[in-house]
Amino acid sequence: EQLTDEINRIADQAQYNQMHMLSNKSASQNVRTAEELGMQPAKINTPASLSGSQASWTLRVHVGANQDEAIAVNIYAANVANLFSGEGAQAAQTAPVQEGAQQEGAQQPAPA
């Protein structure tokens, strides 16, 4: 039983080390890419730096039992402040798109 516990502990540590390496590699690649594009990379530990900068983030998520299986999601935010604006700003931005979709129909509803 001690041997099984030790094997499990080593496997867990190896998996943690691998995911830590993936995170570090991803972060360094994103900083380099941001510099090449002339963008100011946002520092995660200082949320105030998000307001006026462009950011490219990579999230690596472990999926399932296979430690080699990971999902890389690239999120590009042209203006991070827009992500945190209220519902009113989002509705104003999506309204023209909804009107365009309605024009495809045969008849638009008349205003009341």
Between 82 and 28, name the one with better pLDDT: 28
Are 59 and 32 in contact by the 8 Å Cβ rule? The answer is no
pLDDT category at 55 given cuts 50, 70, 90 is: very low
The structural domains of the chain, with segments of one domain joined by +, span 2-90
Q: What are φ and ψ of residue 30, in 5° steps?
A: -65, -40
pLDDT digits (tens, 9 = 90+) for 57-91: 444 444 444 444 444 444 444 444 455 555 444 44
Residue 21 pLDDT > 70, yes or no?
no
- Picking from 80, 78, 82, 83, the residue whose alpha carbon sits closest to that of residue 37 is 78
* Average pLDDT value over all residues in the chain: 56
Are 52 and 27 in contact by the 8 Å Cβ rule? The answer is no
Residue 73 C-beta-side C-alpha neighbours within 13 Å = 8
Interval 104-112 mean pLDDT: 51
Collapsed DSSP state (helix, strand, coil) of residue 48: helix
